[in-house]
Amino acid sequence: MVRDWLVRIATFCALLLVWQLVAQQMSAAILPTPQRTVNALIALIERGELQTAWGQSAVQVAVAMVLSALLGVGLGVLFGWYRKLDQLFSPLFGSLFLMPRVALIPLIALWFGLQDVAKVMLIMAFSFFEIFFTVRNGVKSVESEYVDVARAYCVPQGRTLRTVVMPAIRPYIITGLRLGLVYALVGVVLAGFFLEANGIGGMIYDLGSNFRTAELMAALFSVMVVGLAVNLGLRQLETRLTPWQVSR
Amino acid sequence: MNKYLLPASGVAGFLIIWQIVGAFQGDFLSSPTRMVGEIVYLTTEGGLIGLVLITLGTMLIGWVLSIVIGVFVGFLIGRYRIMSVILEPYLIAKYSVPIIALVPLLVIWFGIEEGFLIATIIIATAIMLVFPTAAGTKETVRTYDQVARAYSISGWHFFIKILLPGSLPFIATGLRISVQRALMAVIVGEFLVGYNGLGTLLKDARIRLDADEVFAVAFIALLVGAVLTGAVGYLDRRLSSWRPVAVTS
């Protein structure tokens, strides 16, 4: 274990060195040195730009996630439970899921404008389906014995859902929420690119089009940190809350 | 037959409702007939087929490169533990970043033409080949390592004769899950920079806020994606048919 980490640290240092050497040969607009990138990151934080951008994005993501969680879990349980309903709508949902969600951007701009409402919609287009499909598949895969026993004892359907199905699908709900949040990050970046240019996406877009590459890389670094924190943190939470579940 | 009745009626009901609502708010919501009309218009006047072929061509170049890179890295990780130790943190980091965020950087590095599109496809897709290939390699090494050693097969021969065929079904799974993503990557890339292809129509539609065109392009993209996925799925079944057990994804 210790040796693994030594190897990792050594490669990381080697990588930094290569970056440094390559960057020295190039214009800073193409590839800034590691030093410049770190300075740019510090400058962005000191001026408060990074915090402002992430603050805006966080609000948009939070609203969208609450909505897609409610809708996704609700509809997921409904569609997983009533098979007929699922069959009726599955080709429609399936094709929406397979469609490049980016294609929805012009429609969202047409229907909801460019402001926060449109952004929340775009983020939901990314996060909702992940939650919905995970929860639906979870309900479908609940051991039929459990449900049969409940039925044999004439437990009313509402109560079966509440006391048998809901506990059984808890791991799926948590996995769905994690995937939904990871995809919500994609949505919020895109929203900044194509709708009103604020938040982290707008910031990245502006920095890129002005060739402020050092700051751009610093902003991308912050995206990576947030993505990692979301992904790994929620996976930790997943194993903590549902230790019996093999996470996917 | 009954199995298809409900889904079919769901689609039919959706189309009917869409048609009715679209009759009142056509510019806003489009409608099935308007969408079909737009597809016909784009095919006859807009060179749709040419654009689809250009997109497919770019996609295939990028996809093949992604496969080569992804499979190579997968082999390294599956075969040499040290490589998995070194590369793992980067792969996890890579998995957690929305690739779309990298686009401005890629534009700075690769410009706004085909090189950019191919780079986008590779960054989005190669990783999807890495883990299946690594799993396949590990599995193959576990099964055949001793036999190969007994016959003193090593190096290049081991790679060509044992590793590659052994992990082929796993790689095929990687192909199946990556083809759709490669298509999306190229469409998104074209949409972002407006370089020739299917995505360019989306950029056009965004500027003119043309709902008909959006639905037409989305439908075509869906169709192309379905055909590609079907073709790769067929390939997957062919490549895995000699295997008695189902391949894990």
pLDDT interval class at B2 (50, 70, 90): low
Residues B243, B220: contact at Cβ < 8 Å?
no
Q: Say how far residue A146 (Cα) sits from the centre of its chain.
A: 33
Q: Which residues of A touch B109 (CB under 8 A)?
A: 30
Tokens of A95: 């094709």
Q: Is residue A170 part of a domain?
A: yes
pLDDT tens-digit readout, B33-62 = 898 998 999 888 888 899 999 999 999 999
For residues B76 and B195, the model is more confident at B76
Chain A interface mutation, best of B200, B206, B215, B228, highest count of A Cβ atoms under 10 Å: B206
pLDDT score of B169: 82
Average pLDDT, chain A: 88
Interface of B with A in 186-205 (CB under 8 A): 187-188, 191-192, 202, 205
Q: Please compute the mean of the pLDDT values over residues B167-192 and round it to a whole number.
A: 87
Which domain, by its residues, includes A206? 32-241
Q: Is residue A6 part of a domain?
A: no
Interface of B with A in 38-67 (CB under 8 A): none
CA distance B147 to chain A (A): 30
Q: Does residue B136 carry a pLDDT above 60?
A: yes
Q: Which residues of A touch B85 (CB under 8 A)?
A: 4, 7-8
Tell me the domains of chain B and their CATH numbers: 46-240 (1.10.3720.10)
The SS3 call for residue A1 is: coil
Q: Does residue A57 carry a pLDDT above 90?
A: yes
pLDDT score of B248: 47
For residues A234 and B118, the model is more confident at B118
Q: Do A8 and B7 touch (CB under 8 A)?
A: no
Angle at B201 between CA B197 and CA B203, to 5 degrees: 110
Q: In terms of CA atoms, which chain B residue is nearest residue A215?
A: B105
pLDDT score of A246: 53
pLDDT interval class at B66 (50, 70, 90): very high
Model ipTM? Answer: 0.83
Q: Which residues of A touch B211 (CB under 8 A)?
A: 106-107, 110
Q: Please compute the mean of the pLDDT values over residues A97-124 and round it to a whole number.
A: 87
CATH number for the domain harbouring residue A157: 1.10.3720.10
Q: Is residue A19 part of a domain?
A: no
Of A194, A192, A211, A212, nearest to A202 (Cα)?
A: A192
pLDDT score of A134: 92
DSSP per position, A19-87: HHHHHHHS-TTT---HHHHHHHHHHHHHTTHHHHHHHHHHHHHHHHHHHHHHHHHHHHHHHHH-HHHHH
Q: Does residue A72 carry a pLDDT above 90?
A: yes
Q: What is the Cα–Cα distance from B146 to B137, expressed in whole angstroms?
A: 14
Q: Structurally, how many domains does chain A consist of?
A: 1
Q: Do B222 and A95 touch (CB under 8 A)?
A: yes
pLDDT tens-digit readout, B75-130 = 889 888 888 888 888 888 887 788 888 988 999 999 888 899 999 999 999 988 99
pLDDT interval class at A230 (50, 70, 90): confident
Whether B14 has its CB under 8 Å from any CB of chain A: the answer is yes
For residues B192 and A117, the model is more confident at A117
pLDDT score of B97: 80
Q: Which residues of A touch B217 (CB under 8 A)?
A: 103
The SS3 call for residue A246 is: coil
Q: Is residue A163 part of a domain?
A: yes
Give the percent of chain B with pLDDT over 70: 95
From the number of C-beta atoms within 10 Å of its C-beta (0-12, 13-18, 19+), residue B33 rates as: middle
Would you mind telling me the total number of residues written for chain A in this entry? 248
Q: Does residue B1 carry a pLDDT above 60?
A: no
pLDDT score of B243: 62
Q: Is residue A1 part of a domain?
A: no
Residues B104, A208: contact at Cβ < 8 Å?
yes
Q: Does residue A247 carry a pLDDT above 50?
A: no
Chain A interface mutation, best of B2, B76, B82, B97, highest count of A Cβ atoms under 10 Å: B97
For residues B241 and B175, the model is more confident at B175
Amino acid of residue B8: A
Q: Is residue A156 part of a domain?
A: yes
Hey, which of A16-20, A101-105, A168-172 has the most confident mean pLDDT?
A: A16-20
Q: Is residue A22 part of a domain?
A: no
Q: Which residues of A touch B214 (CB under 8 A)?
A: 103-104, 106-107
Whether B12 has its CB under 8 Å from any CB of chain A: the answer is no
Hey, which of A44-58, A97-111, B4-18 has the most confident mean pLDDT?
A: A44-58
From the number of C-beta atoms within 10 Å of its C-beta (0-12, 13-18, 19+), residue A195 rates as: buried
Of B97, B209, B225, the CB nearest to A109: B209
Q: Does residue B246 carry a pLDDT above 60?
A: no
Q: Say how far residue B91 (Cα) sits from the centre of its chain.
A: 19
Whether B97 has its CB under 8 Å from any CB of chain A: the answer is yes
Q: Is residue A20 part of a domain?
A: no
Q: Do A8 and B96 touch (CB under 8 A)?
A: no
DSSP per position, B56-102: HHHHHHHHHHHHHHHHHHHHHHHH-HHHHHHHHHHHHHHHHS-GGGG
CA distance A202 to chain B (A): 10
